[in-house]
Homo-oligomer: A and B are copies of this chain.
Amino acid sequence: MNDDLLAKIRLIRSPSIGPVTFRQLLTRFGTAEAALAAIPDLAARGGGKAPAIASQATAKAEAERVEKLGARYLALGQGLYPRLLAELPAAPPLLIAKGDFGLLDRQAVAIVGARNASAAACRFARGLAHDLGEQGLAVVSGLARGIDAAAHDGALATGTIGIVAGGIDIFYPPENEERQCAMFERGLVIAEMPPGTEPRARHFPYRNRIIAGISLGTIVVEAAPKSGSLITARLAAEAGREVMAVPGSPLDPRAQGCNQLIREGATLVQTAADVMESIRPMDSRVQSASAPYEPAPQEAGDADADARRSVEQLLGPSPVPVDELVRLSGQPSGAVQMVLLELDLAGRLDRHAGGRVSLR
């Protein structure tokens, strides 16, 4: 068993280390093993005690379970890890995937929508997924009821990727078992959480960021206002991806979310041709994309007492952008990042959306 992989599992399964902290640590220390070794000192300098770290045994048990399930890990910055997903600042450091890994080489587009969608909308989603599959795209969705299920079914023959909120061996909702098993064989299923994890409410937005992040664009079919599908659309927009929506009558409450998205600038799509036209500019961006993300040690940015004092003084309970801390402190960016990493590992920092931080 691969020591680097085990070290990565230990890091990311540690309760206080999230994807952003993980990425900071890898960027600083080059390897997960070096990061693990550095954590106690970092936490001490941050003024706290070392965070609990997942044990080697826990990591090994997880890796063995993944292997036994016939799944494998995809590590950020390595091999098959989806290139577009790696662009997200909070990209999952590790994914667990089972199925046809060849689908990761395809350009992907997400189809998401309401769990309680109308029969007509489900039929539409199935047809659209089928047509996009015929165009050579992998169709991504969240293996939920309704639109998600229809999208997977429509593209099962051509290639579909399902992102689950819980462990890869958990079927949620239960009636998806047959579909998910079919996708183990003929599609691809991806999970961020370790095997056996029952999905909880907080896991769904994490799942949604993967759906949006892995795809050139996200198509919303029938979504209520304030629904999870709209969160996925927002995450896609934040990641600079295409947001597309299928319109509906103003008299149909289930069309409100999509119509609102279109009013806010999403592209109205009715056919696979509309979708292809919409993602073409993204497409060329991907063709010319740089090599996959590789963590590499930055110029050493060790923090001295002066940097620590200065950054801590500027921090408070209100989230502030890291850029602003650098500017206001007058300290080198590397030193500020290091102070933040120390505070983070000492359990004294909260990281927020948009690269903002606050003292806990």
Docked complex Cα distance between A256 and B247 (Å): 11
Cβ of A250 and Cβ of B271 under 8 Å apart? Answer: yes
Cβ of B259 and Cβ of A263 under 8 Å apart? Answer: no
Cβ–Cβ < 8 Å partners of A250 in chain B: 124, 246-247, 270-271
Q: Is A255 an interface residue (CB 8 A)?
A: yes
Q: A263-B268, A263-B274, A267-B263 are in contact. Are A247 and B251 (CB under 8 A)?
A: no
Q: Is A36 an interface residue (CB 8 A)?
A: no
Q: Is A120 an interface residue (CB 8 A)?
A: yes
Docked complex Cα distance between A268 and B123 (Å): 24
Docked complex Cα distance between A113 and B7 (Å): 65
Cβ–Cβ < 8 Å partners of A270 in chain B: 250, 256, 259, 263
Docked complex Cα distance between A263 and B271 (Å): 12
The closest CB in chain B to the CB of A121 belongs to B249
Cβ of B249 and Cβ of A268 under 8 Å apart? Answer: no
The closest CB in chain B to the CB of A118 belongs to B249
Q: Is A262 an interface residue (CB 8 A)?
A: yes
Docked complex Cα distance between A247 and B258 (Å): 10
Cβ–Cβ < 8 Å partners of A271 in chain B: 250
Q: Is A248 an interface residue (CB 8 A)?
A: yes
Q: What's the least CB distance linking A5 to chain B, in Å?
A: 46
Q: Per-residue 0/1 for A266-283: is the Cβ within 8 Å of any B Cβ (1 yes, 0 no)?
A: 011011001000000000
Docked complex Cα distance between A271 and B263 (Å): 12
Docked complex Cα distance between A255 and B268 (Å): 12
From 88 to 135 in chain A, residues with beta carbon under 8 angstroms from any chain B beta carbon are 120-121, 123-124
Copy number in the complex reads 2
Cβ of A120 and Cβ of B251 under 8 Å apart? Answer: yes
Cβ–Cβ < 8 Å partners of A248 in chain B: 247-249
**Which residue among A252, A259, A270 has the maximum number of chain B CB atoms within 10 Å of its CB?**
A270
Docked complex Cα distance between A274 and B120 (Å): 27
Q: What's the least CB distance linking A244 to chain B, in Å?
A: 11
Cβ of B249 and Cβ of A262 under 8 Å apart? Answer: no
Cβ–Cβ < 8 Å partners of A120 in chain B: 249, 251
Docked complex Cα distance between A270 and B248 (Å): 10
**Which residue among A123, A247, A251, A252 has the maximum number of chain B CB atoms within 10 Å of its CB?**
A247
Docked complex Cα distance between A120 and B248 (Å): 13
Docked complex Cα distance between A268 and B249 (Å): 11
Cβ–Cβ < 8 Å partners of A124 in chain B: 249-251
Which of B121, B123, B247, B256 meets A259, CB within 8 Å?
A: B247
Q: What's the least CB distance linking A265 to chain B, in Å?
A: 10
The closest CB in chain B to the CB of A250 belongs to B270
Docked complex Cα distance between A250 and B125 (Å): 11
Extra A-B contacts (4), CB below 8 Å, given A250-B271, A259-B268: A120-B249, A124-B251, A247-B248, A250-B270
The 18 sampled A-B contact pairs (Cβ below 8 Å) are: A121-B249, A124-B251, A246-B249, A246-B250, A247-B247, A247-B248, A247-B249, A247-B250, A247-B259, A247-B262, A248-B249, A249-B249, A250-B271, A256-B270, A259-B270, A262-B268, A263-B270, A268-B268
Mark A residues whose CB is within 8 Å of B: 120-121, 123-124, 246-252, 255-256, 259, 262-263, 267-268, 270-271, 274
